[in-house]
Structure 1
Amino acid sequence: MQGRVVGGRRYRSGYPRTVREWTRGSKVDDAPIVFEGEETDVSCGQYLYDETHREGGSMYEVQSRSISFYNSLYHVRKEPTDKFLKLAIALNTEVSFFGRWMLLQLKADWEANDNGSDKVFKSGSLIYVDARAFLDFSGAKVDGNQDAIKETGSRLQYHVLFAPSESTSYTGYSTTKNYLILYMLDDVKERLQFFKLGDRGGPFELVYSDDEGGQIRTASAGGVDSKESDLIWLTTSSYTQPSTLYLADARKCGSNGYIISKLKSLPHMYDSSELEVTQHFATSKDGTKIPYFMIAKKGLLLDGSTPTLLYGYGGFEISLGPRYVTTVGISWLERGGVYVEANIRGGGEYGPKWHQSALKENRNKCYEDFIAVGEHLVASNICTPKSLACRGGSNGGLLAGNMLVQAPDLFAAIHVAVPLLDMKR
């Protein structure tokens, strides 16, 4: 829980808020406090980015304070003798480093008018800028020296690694020594893009991109040793395929891909040989297209008789996407049922705006999206209200509870799991 004000009283977070410098062999209680957050902060932390193994990179020490669930303050220094500088960024921006570059993940439209020009970067973008130059600019902003702000701002040059479109969103990245592997969703289907650090640590160059449209799968890549090589551990999975580990090499990116060999796969836990995964779109009350994935037997008879389970979450910018559904496969799919996951607003399937569009006074859109998917399943003769059930847990439990109130005639069964139904208490 974040620190919050209720009835004029401010409540404490309860999470750790001090950072201590501990020496091996000494008592933790004797370790001096080097950084401390406020009592009302959600959390705080201090950590290092060691980028000295990349050309032009330095050691960056970061202090962060999460002043609310989505907003943080960042202070950075390059040398232990330097003072920490408050970064001149919006509160809901996430910060990281690669080589000599500072990467900024934007959660709202951001106007960078540091050198007199108005540059607006879209919410959901991943941009980067020279870290030293940006620290100089942030220091000038802290000091309030207008001449220094103008001079340091004139040296800033922003580069865009990812800018969202109507169908695409950024979900994260991983690294090798010389490559940045960017994850993106294209209509909730995953794509990977490989960027190589330029000569002498210069700007990134796109060297490989997965097929347009993406794949219905989940993939994660991690450097075997990101300080020494460009080899990658690549893990993939889908609704019907268990996790599989590959060895890959970012240097081999090209027309033949980047995978060297398949190393190992977890065993199949249920029979998926006769199943297929498809994507469909329903239209919500306000006209917004809502994607959903459906796992069903090939050649499904469209007579409305098939038992169908609809699942949703719709919160905290969390995306529902392909992963191996062992328990659903054993208990539901093997028995002939249809399983559906709805990518409703409130989640992160289309970036920060998809999440933010179903908050507070617009929370109803999340529930309208879920109802629209259920109605689309019925209209498509997959099922009828007599053969349609829904389920959600935690935040999804609140979703399922709303179905009990708002659309009881649409579902024959509603499973409300560990719900957050009373949001005031």
Structure 2
Amino acid sequence: MRHQSRHAGGRCRGRAAWVGGALCLAITAAQASPPPMQAGPGFASPASSAKLPEEPSAVPDDVHPWLSQIDGARAMGWVRAQNARSLKVLQSDPHYAGFYAQALAIEQSHDRLAMPMPLAGAIFNFWRDKDHVRGILRRTTQVSFLGSTPDWRTVLDLDALTRREHANWVYEGLNCAEPGETRCLVSLSDGGEDATTEREFDLASGQFVKGGFTLPHSKQTIAWVDDDTLLVARDWGAGTLTASGYPFVVKLLHRGESLAQAKEVYRAGPMQIGVDPLQFADGQGHRVDILMTELATFHYAYRVWTPQGLRLLDLPEQADLEGLLDNRLIVHLNEDWAPKGAAKIGAGALIALDLDHPDAAASVIFAPGPRQSVEDVAVTKSRVLASVYDNVRGRGMVFAPDGAGWRAQSLDLPGNVAVNVVAADTHSDSGFLTVAGFLTPTELWHADTAIPTVRKVRALPAQFDASGMVVDQYEAKSSDGTMIPYFVVHRRDWAKDGSNPTMLYAYGGFGVSMLPRYSGVLGKLWLDHGGVYVLANIRGGGEFGPKWHDAGLKTHRQLIYDDFAAVARDLATRGIADAAHLGIRGGSNGGLLMGVEFTQHPELWHAVIIEVPLLDMLNFETMSAGASWVGEYGSVSVPEQRAFLARISPLQNLHADGHYPEPFIFTTTKDDRVGPVHARRFAARMEAMGLPFLYYEETEGGHHAGANQREVAEQEALEYTYLTKKLMEPAKPAAPQTTR
């Protein structure tokens, strides 16, 4: 069972991720203990006091309309020219070669932690290194995995498959049939696109199944009904995709049938975002097939499917299904809910629905407080395993059925760290978690949730010298008085004179929590050289539950941008970094954040990295999967929302006389979620205005920017070279600049 995230940042929003796939941006959790959070007006009222610029009187046509032809010859010629110009600047810098070598060594290190996938009584892992550029799927026993040196056996070699088929395959995960978990669909993407080709694979024999299920290239979601039957949502031909480009027709496909013979079982509406078939299974042998219709961004309708028909589940529209335990659906609420005849349950709560007794009231597993949130949830054979955050500090918790209620127990894990649930086995009580901090290398822990006890399996060796470094946490007052927490990672012997080269990172959308993580590349290429790293917990994220996210939706979004600017000003006030030494970075929805900050406050920073971004907010709904994000951003079809989008849209708010820093704009040709056209249009507008910029478009990698570790290391080296040039080198007399 799996569900593909459609959000700009790739978050799975609590639903089950693909087994072994990199669907969600990897964000780990909190390390430092923050001061008490002040509940400002942002919790209760998302009104902003910021003064927005007036809407432009006219929006000019695209400078080069042909840039919208993603693979067009003229567009790709422009891309190659921009790449060559920017690479000449960055790769000729004396820092680049060393940065690339260090980043690649870290990305390909055999000391990296192998993250487990419990399947069929064994442990699987997908692994890339210098000898396996595209990667191998491998397996070992749980006993071996918990030992010091696991005995891995290769099951599927993606490099060999790609060579044999002369293809550009990128592995995107496994989808295995219950209860045996040996017959699986392998998802293969062309260069990293969200669209995949699905092929049936036998884990026991290590071979693709001759004459087995094969579903060609499409954005598609599939659930196994049994070993010989699939529920499939995909492109079935004309009139079966929504305006967002996702399928809204589900069909039943039996073994031996062609796609044309599949029988339709459900059809959602073409103006909805899409529909996904899902299957949840538990350790007691129950299975439930569910059709999840995404009505609008963050709004879902769940229907139980059986051969006899469909039954709509009594749930609020803003809820995520997390798993099945003893035929009880585990649900994470993202809005307040008052079931008929029962007391209101607050947003952020974890609840259980008894499928054997549909009329029974939902039981509350865990109700978070105002400064708490539930981040990760997984289900073992008899328990619910979760990571819970309290003031951005993580802990592992186990919840067990106890009569009509639930018993909660905390796991004995290190404190003041990030805690993430990695995997859980529904056929045993085994689960895996990671703990980490900015300066604390990631550790993998195994939990026996039935007792519950934990033991450390292994730890990542330190990838940089953190002995002279510390982590602080501060708060900045935003435009409406809300206090915004942020972390600062720095050398202990720094001087608070504003001269510290500082990189500020945030995301600010889709309920994605920005929680500290250990990054060897960040440490080696930035912190080791005297750089400061700042992570801001601005609104739009989920660090303090659904209301922290909801405060910045649609026309209230200026609050998110005010939060970020407030952190930048607070850094200057505290003497950490002035504008000449401050750089900012963000991707996807965070790329939109960078574009807005670039145009609204160019005076606050000297370096801006804009990655796989949304930048044309007056046209985003018609670009790639943009129509699926109206619930986050609003729609140009609503006058008030269009006026707001026009005021904040980075593309339309570029001005030839703007005093902008030279940005580094990065995107990928294969990104079929946000798409490269946003970045192209923005760069082309800057080019036409004679404004300086650097632009690089990777031809592979999809929305995750990099189809293999070499491409990832190259991008990391380019970005840290750019930051080093802008923030660490002494200022030089300005030279004439050209973008042609």
TM-score range, shorter chain: 0.7 to 0.9
Contact 1:197 / 1:205 at 8 angstroms: preserved in 2?
yes
Q: How many angstroms apart in 1 are the aligned matches of 2:559 and 2:308?
A: 48
**Which residue does the alignment assign to 1:219?**
420
Q: How many angstroms apart in 1 are the aligned matches of 2:462 and 2:352?
A: 42
Matches within 5 A, 1:51-70: 51=282, 53-54=283-284, 58-70=286-298
**Which residue does the alignment assign to 2:357?**
133
**Which residue does the alignment assign to 1:30?**
261
Letter in 2 for 1:349: E
Contact 2:419 / 2:433 at 8 angstroms: preserved in 1?
no
Letter in 1 for 2:426: S
Residue 424 of structure 1: SS of its match in structure 2?
coil
Matches within 5 A, 1:177-188: 177-188=381-392
Contact 2:432 / 2:445 at 8 angstroms: preserved in 1?
yes
Alpha-carbon shift at residue 90 of structure 1 (Å): 1.9
Letter in 2 for 1:247: H
Letter in 1 for 2:410: Y
Alpha-carbon shift at residue 314 of structure 1 (Å): 0.4
**Which residue does the alignment assign to 2:335?**
108
CA 1:215–1:173: 2 relative to 1, 3 Å: same
Contact 2:395 / 2:410 at 8 angstroms: preserved in 1?
no
1:398 aligns with 2:592: yes
Q: Which runs of 5+ in 1 are unaligned?
A: 3-9, 138-155
Q: What RMSD over aligned residues (CA atoms) do the two structures have, in Å?
A: 2.6
Q: How many angstroms apart in 2 are the aligned matches of 1:267 and 1:29?
A: 53
From 259, 264, 278, the counterpart of 2:454: 259
1:290 aligns with 2:484: yes
**Which residue does the alignment assign to 1:237?**
436
**Which residue does the alignment assign to 2:562?**
368
Contact 1:236 / 1:245 at 8 angstroms: preserved in 2?
yes
Q: How many angstroms apart in 1 are the aligned matches of 2:251 and 2:436?
A: 40
1:72 aligns with 2:266: no
**Which residue does the alignment assign to 1:248?**
447
1:330 aligns with 2:524: yes
Q: How many angstroms apart in 1 are the aligned matches of 2:450 and 2:312?
A: 37
Contact 1:187 / 1:291 at 8 angstroms: preserved in 2?
no
CA 1:68–1:210: 2 relative to 1, 3 Å: farther
**Which residue does the alignment assign to 2:513?**
319
Which stretch of the first structure deviates more once superposed, 99-108 or 279-288?
Answer: 99-108
**Which residue does the alignment assign to 2:651?**
none
Q: How many angstroms apart in 1 are the aligned matches of 2:615 and 2:366?
A: 37
CA 1:391–1:13: 2 relative to 1, 3 Å: closer
1:203 aligns with 2:405: yes
CA 1:308–1:129: 2 relative to 1, 3 Å: same
**Which residue does the alignment assign to 2:270?**
39
Contact 1:18 / 1:44 at 8 angstroms: preserved in 2?
yes
Alpha-carbon shift at residue 402 of structure 1 (Å): 2.3
Alpha-carbon shift at residue 180 of structure 1 (Å): 0.8
CA 1:405–1:386: 2 relative to 1, 3 Å: same
Letter in 2 for 1:108: E
Letter in 2 for 1:76: V
Alpha-carbon shift at residue 265 of structure 1 (Å): 3.4
Alpha-carbon shift at residue 226 of structure 1 (Å): 2.2
CA 1:266–1:132: 2 relative to 1, 3 Å: same
Alpha-carbon shift at residue 247 of structure 1 (Å): 2.8
Letter in 2 for 1:219: N
Contact 1:303 / 1:383 at 8 angstroms: preserved in 2?
yes
CA 1:125–1:246: 2 relative to 1, 3 Å: closer
Contact 1:280 / 1:292 at 8 angstroms: preserved in 2?
yes
Q: How many angstroms apart in 2 are the aligned matches of 1:216 and 1:283?
A: 25
CA 1:231–1:104: 2 relative to 1, 3 Å: closer
Alpha-carbon shift at residue 168 of structure 1 (Å): 0.6
Residue 234 of structure 1: SS of its match in structure 2?
strand
Q: How many angstroms apart in 1 are the aligned matches of 2:534 and 2:565?
A: 13
CA 1:211–1:281: 2 relative to 1, 3 Å: farther
Q: How many angstroms apart in 2 are the aligned matches of 1:408 and 1:81?
A: 59
> Percent identity, aligned pairs only?
33
Which stretch of the first structure deviates more once superposed, 399-408 or 186-195?
Answer: 399-408
Matches within 5 A, 1:147-166: 156-166=360-370
Letter in 2 for 1:132: D
Matches within 5 A, 1:266-277: 266-277=460-471
Alpha-carbon shift at residue 82 of structure 1 (Å): 4.2
Q: Deviations over 1:28-73 (max 9, x none)?
A: 432323333322232212232233x33xx74322121112221111
Contact 2:380 / 2:426 at 8 angstroms: preserved in 1?
yes
Q: How many angstroms apart in 2 are the aligned matches of 1:345 and 1:24?
A: 48
Alpha-carbon shift at residue 23 of structure 1 (Å): 3.0
From 311, 334, 337, the counterpart of 1:85: 311
Letter in 1 for 2:357: A
Letter in 2 for 1:415: I
Residue 204 of structure 1: SS of its match in structure 2?
strand
Q: How many angstroms apart in 2 are the aligned matches of 1:401 and 1:355?
A: 20
Contact 1:75 / 1:87 at 8 angstroms: preserved in 2?
yes
> TM-score of the superposition, structure 2-length normalised?
0.48
**Which residue does the alignment assign to 2:397?**
193
Q: Deviations over 1:123-154 (max 9, x none)?
A: 222222432332xx4xxxxxxxxxxxxxxxxx
